[in-house]
Chains A and B, each alone.
Chain A
Amino acid sequence: APALAEDIKQGGSMTVTYKDDVSTLDPAIGYDWQNWSMIKSLFDGLMDYVPGTTELRPEIAESYEISDDGTVFTFKLRDGVKFHNGRDLTAGDVKYSIERTVNPKTQSPGAGFFGSIKGFEDASSGDADGLSGITVVDDHTIKFELSRPDATFLHVLALNFAHVVPKEEVEKHGADFGKHPVGSGAFKLSEWTLGQRLVFERFEDYWNPGVPKLDQIIFEVGQEPVVALLRLQNGEVDVPGDGIPPAKFIEVKNDPKFKDLIIQGGQLHTGYVTMNVKMEPFDKPEVRKAVNMAINKDRILRIINGRAVAANQPLPPSMPGYAKDYEGYAYDPEAAKTLLAEAGLADGFETELYVMNTDPQPRIAQAIQQDLKAIGINASIKSLAQANVIAAGGEEDQAPMIWSGGMAWIADFPDPSNFYGPILGCDGAVPGGWNWAWYCNEDLDAMAKDADAMVDPAKAGEREVMWRDIYLKVMEDAPWAPIFNEERFTIRSERIGGDDKLFVDPVHIPVHYDEVYAKDVQ
């Protein structure tokens, strides 16, 4: 039974492995599976979530106020928040950090999230040095003025891209700041051997004395997940950061030794097939609907050993706005054929299905391929490296169909809007964009804008409904065939304790490092 938070003794160490290298720990830049939650532990932002949930709560902000029109956000900072270099964190640092992210020189992938702050255009184009919308009221007060109401703004401030960095350290290390991160987080970096391992150490002066629980976390990189699992069995690894490899899944799941160590959790993820509405014959809604009806999702779930639940709409079930009662397009090959015939394609057609080349994506694509074949669609598979698939999707006339698995879409933050803009909105339907269906519905874009302007927490429910409608309308046009929402199955060693939710944290992916603890020091 998990001990109560107060009873947990601090101390101990944990070893986490990843297959891929950790690229950078600069919060303005890091946007990987590996570094996302590492950065969250090294740095702090104004906002964060309750561990293991999608519930927002202030972090270094003590409190905040939102103006009625939803365009002014004022934050009061906590006392005694220190950087790892000993200096006190001030409101100026917050401003500096966000401006740094927006500054084009930083090349931050997250700059766009701050688009609602006043002065964004000037700052992001490099015309202005800072954001006129951010005002440092005093050392402990900071004020954000938005150019439009933005219901997601608190989530944005919880993003890594809004985490606070000390200016002097950034200037000291220049471009290498990502290798010498100094933040105000619960852990500080104590060792980084490139390509091998990183060691995090507990930050003694952390403003929240109860956190973190561990003294040390060792990250080892470059190891095959299968081997990481072997090492876990051998007691050398506590958390395999890449989860349970598909090849071992059934074996592990059925192994009584592991029974108590496996943790299952939802994810803000949807896997879908995009159909390029600008390419024949997917310009016909009937065809797209036929595809939706042709795919036998249950069989696909079986192929991936049941590690997901069938999806019928863009949003995953744990996302606010998910339409529980929506039935979507049921599996019905006969009806699909009829639809095709209506579209004048009774004899089917030839097309291509792009897919990223790592297991199990090509397998899923093959299952889809077989289903499509049953209704007369001959889709040949193009299985390519991730970068190439993404590039093909960004071309208007290149990829008729793409299976999104492995590339998208895990939410940046738990808000329904996050599933729309870049992947379904008109903004994304540009060359190089992520809207691989090239779907652009001006009406829906307008609706989305309205929804996001509903900042008032009281109207949250209304906003949810609005978003729900947007996604259902999308499904009417069927630019996607949603296939499944992935469930996360992860495993941890017996030594490591903590609420199960921490290991499948929807935000601190894959593990909430600050909150888990070592049992052997209890």
Chain B
Amino acid sequence: MSQTVAEKNTGTQTPSVMVRLLRRPLALTGLIIIAVVVLAAVFAPWLAPYNPYEQFFEGLTIEGAPLPPNAQFWFGTDLVGRDLFSRLIYGAQTSLIIGVVANGIAVVIGSAVGISAGYFRGWVDTVLMRFTDLMMAFPALLLAIVLAAIFSPSLWIVAMVIAMVNWVQIARVTYTETRSIAERDFVVAERAMGAGAGRILFRHILPHLLSTIIVWATLGIATTVLLEATLSFLGIGVQPPIPSWGNIIFENQTYFTSAPWLVFIPGVAILALALGFNLVGDALRDILDPTQQGRH
């Protein structure tokens, strides 16, 4: 949205959204977390102390057990003796693409479908929501298996599958909320003014759904990162030995009593990423919500 009439017209510019974000300690924390992950993803080759694929001979005990965190391997080693720290850094890339890009696309599709169906009612509603039902009931795992066989596995396919199957819940929830918002008087007033559907949907209803969407988007980060591991397990996503936070957890979760670091450290990474986005999202919502102004 370009600058609005109201904004241009006043001399006292309120500080930009970014500046206001930076002023909030929690939001700042969130931004830092995100920045760290993004930097790790982008500069992995320079940041990682070891090659993430190298299976160190000294990375396993004689019995073949992985090493707990120590001076040489800061976060310990995994089940084949690779450096977990380096794998985490490299895995950030995958996890960002899944958790942020794929999940983001799902959120966008879902909100668009939910809002449209909730607002238009009639056959648009029927078609969109029944399609949503259909997609919700769609056997995604099966699709994964088929795709795995047809294409060579890649991150983008798993991202696509996640985007394709994950939008449905968001669609349902925004649909329900939109139905209620669409009955509010100000929407009627907009219609009375001749406002087109696009304007009503995106400028008037969408902002009211923002908090819902932020909740789903940020929580979705954690679940999609884990979902990626399941799908990759069936063969469509990243294949071993390429690391992702999800598959590190997935591969090792049965070992969590004997090698807890293999589950908890990547778990904390996922948690931090999701929390980071949530902190920023929460702050953004407050900043964008006029009725919250006055609290800082």
* A–B contact via C-beta, under 8 angstroms: yes
Q: Are B257 and A251 in contact (CB under 8 A)?
A: yes
Q: Are B235 and A383 in contact (CB under 8 A)?
A: yes
Q: Are A383 and B55 in contact (CB under 8 A)?
A: no
Contact with B along A45-82 (1 / 0, CB 8 A): 00000000000000000000000000000000000000
Q: Are B65 and A381 in contact (CB under 8 A)?
A: no
B233: interface (CB < 8 Å): yes
Query: How many whole Å from A203's CB to the nearest CB in chain B?
Result: 38
**Out of A251, A306, A380, A383, which one reaches B258, CB within 8 Å?**
A251
In the bound complex, how far is the Cα of B145 from the Cα of A448, in angstroms?
Answer: 39
Q: Which of B55, B145, B251, B257 has the most CB of A within 10 A?
A: B55
**B contact residues around A382 at 8 Å (CB):** 152-153, 235, 239
A245: interface (CB < 8 Å): yes
B156: interface (CB < 8 Å): no
Q: Are A305 and B153 in contact (CB under 8 A)?
A: no
Q: Are A370 and B54 in contact (CB under 8 A)?
A: yes
Q: Are A250 and B235 in contact (CB under 8 A)?
A: no
Q: Are B233 and A383 in contact (CB under 8 A)?
A: yes
Stretch at the interface among A140-148, A287-295, A357-365, A504-512: A357-365
Stretch at the interface among A97-105, A118-126, A296-304: A296-304
B264: interface (CB < 8 Å): no
Q: Known contacts being A303-B60, A303-B64, A305-B63, is A359 close to B251, with CB within 8 Å? A: yes
In the bound complex, how far is the Cα of B240 from the Cα of A303, in angstroms?
Answer: 15
Q: Are A357 and B235 in contact (CB under 8 A)?
A: yes
**B contact residues around A496 at 8 Å (CB):** none
In the bound complex, how far is the Cα of B153 from the Cα of A381, in angstroms?
Answer: 10
Q: Are B145 and A366 in contact (CB under 8 A)?
A: no
B120: interface (CB < 8 Å): no
**B contact residues around A303 at 8 Å (CB):** 60, 64, 79-81
**B contact residues around A253 at 8 Å (CB):** 63
Nearest B residue to A364, CB-CB: B80
**Out of A250, A362, A365, which one reaches B65, CB within 8 Å?**
A250
Q: Which of B63, B80, B234 has the most CB of A within 10 A?
A: B80
Q: Are B257 and A245 in contact (CB under 8 A)?
A: no
Q: Are A383 and B254 in contact (CB under 8 A)?
A: no
**B contact residues around A380 at 8 Å (CB):** 239
A248: interface (CB < 8 Å): yes
Q: Which of B65, B153, B239, B241 has the most CB of A within 10 A?
A: B239
In the bound complex, how far is the Cα of B55 from the Cα of A226, in angstroms?
Answer: 27
Q: Are A388 and B64 in contact (CB under 8 A)?
A: no
Q: Are B255 and A247 in contact (CB under 8 A)?
A: yes
Query: How many whole Å from A439's CB to the nearest CB in chain B?
Result: 24
In the bound complex, how far is the Cα of B152 from the Cα of A247, in angstroms?
Answer: 30
Nearest A residue to B252, CB-CB: A247
**A contact residues around B149 at 8 Å (CB):** 384, 388, 391-392
Nearest B residue to A307, CB-CB: B64
**Out of B55, B145, B241, B254, which one reaches A381, CB within 8 Å?**
B241
**A contact residues around B60 at 8 Å (CB):** 302-303
In the bound complex, how far is the Cα of B254 from the Cα of A253, in angstroms?
Answer: 17
Q: Known contacts being A362-B251, A381-B240, A384-B234, is A250 close to B53, with CB within 8 Å? A: no
In the bound complex, how far is the Cα of B81 from the Cα of A301, in angstroms?
Answer: 13
B57: interface (CB < 8 Å): yes
**B contact residues around A248 at 8 Å (CB):** 257-258
Contact with B along A222-257 (1 / 0, CB 8 A): 000010000000000000000001111011010000
**B contact residues around A392 at 8 Å (CB):** 149
B148: interface (CB < 8 Å): yes
Q: Are A305 and B65 in contact (CB under 8 A)?
A: yes
A385: interface (CB < 8 Å): yes
Contact with A along B36-72 (1 / 0, CB 8 A): 0000000000000000011101001011110000000
Q: Are A357 and B233 in contact (CB under 8 A)?
A: yes
- Main DSSP-derived SS at the A contact region: helix
Q: Known contacts being A380-B239, A384-B148, A388-B235, is A250 close to B258, with CB within 8 Å? A: yes
A351: interface (CB < 8 Å): no
Query: How many whole Å from B186's CB to the nearest CB in chain A?
Result: 53
A367: interface (CB < 8 Å): yes
Q: Known contacts being A251-B257, A359-B254, A370-B54, is A302 close to B62, with CB within 8 Å? A: yes
In the bound complex, how far is the Cα of B26 from the Cα of A375, in angstroms?
Answer: 51
Q: Are A370 and B254 in contact (CB under 8 A)?
A: no
Q: Known contacts being A226-B254, A250-B258, A359-B254, is A383 close to B64, with CB within 8 Å? A: no
A369: interface (CB < 8 Å): yes
Contact with A along B191-208 (1 / 0, CB 8 A): 000000000000000000
Q: Are A306 and B235 in contact (CB under 8 A)?
A: no
**B contact residues around A306 at 8 Å (CB):** 63-64
Nearest B residue to A357, CB-CB: B233
Query: How many whole Å from B175's CB to the nearest CB in chain A?
Result: 35
**A contact residues around B153 at 8 Å (CB):** 382
Nearest A residue to B234, CB-CB: A385
Nearest B residue to A226, CB-CB: B254
Contact with B along A303-322 (1 / 0, CB 8 A): 11110000000000000000
**B contact residues around A246 at 8 Å (CB):** 254
Contact with B along A408-437 (1 / 0, CB 8 A): 000000000000000000000000000000
Query: How many whole Å from B100's CB to the nearest CB in chain A?
Result: 25
**Out of B55, B64, B145, B235, which one reaches A304, CB within 8 Å?**
B64
Nearest A residue to B149, CB-CB: A388
Query: How many whole Å from A458's CB to the nearest CB in chain B?
Result: 46
Q: Are A299 and B57 in contact (CB under 8 A)?
A: yes
**A contact residues around B254 at 8 Å (CB):** 226, 245-247, 359
Contact with B along A275-287 (1 / 0, CB 8 A): 0000000000000
**B contact residues around A365 at 8 Å (CB):** 240
Q: Which of A334-386 contact B (CB under 8 A)?
A: 357, 359-360, 362-363, 365-367, 369-370, 380-385
**A contact residues around B57 at 8 Å (CB):** 299
In the bound complex, how far is the Cα of B53 from the Cα of A505, in angstroms?
Answer: 39
Q: Are B240 and A250 in contact (CB under 8 A)?
A: no
**A contact residues around B240 at 8 Å (CB):** 362-363, 365-366, 369, 381, 383
Q: Are B63 and A383 in contact (CB under 8 A)?
A: no
Q: Which of B249-267 contact A (CB under 8 A)?
A: 251, 254-255, 257-258
Residues of B within 8 A of A (CB): 53-55, 57, 60, 62-65, 79-81, 145, 148-149, 152-153, 233-235, 239-241, 251, 254-255, 257-258
Residues of A within 8 A of B (CB): 226, 245-248, 250-251, 253, 299, 301-306, 357, 359-360, 362-363, 365-367, 369-370, 380-385, 388, 391-392
Q: List 18 A-B contacts (CB under 8 A).
A: A226-B254, A247-B257, A299-B55, A302-B62, A304-B64, A305-B64, A305-B65, A306-B64, A357-B233, A357-B235, A363-B240, A365-B240, A366-B55, A367-B55, A367-B80, A370-B53, A370-B55, A385-B234
Q: Besides the contacts A245-B254, A250-B63, A383-B240, what 10 more A-B pairs have beta carbons closer than 8 Å?
A: A246-B254, A302-B62, A303-B81, A357-B234, A366-B241, A367-B55, A369-B240, A370-B55, A370-B241, A385-B235
Closest 8 CB pairs of A and B: A247-B254, A384-B235, A302-B64, A305-B64, A247-B255, A366-B241, A381-B239, A362-B240
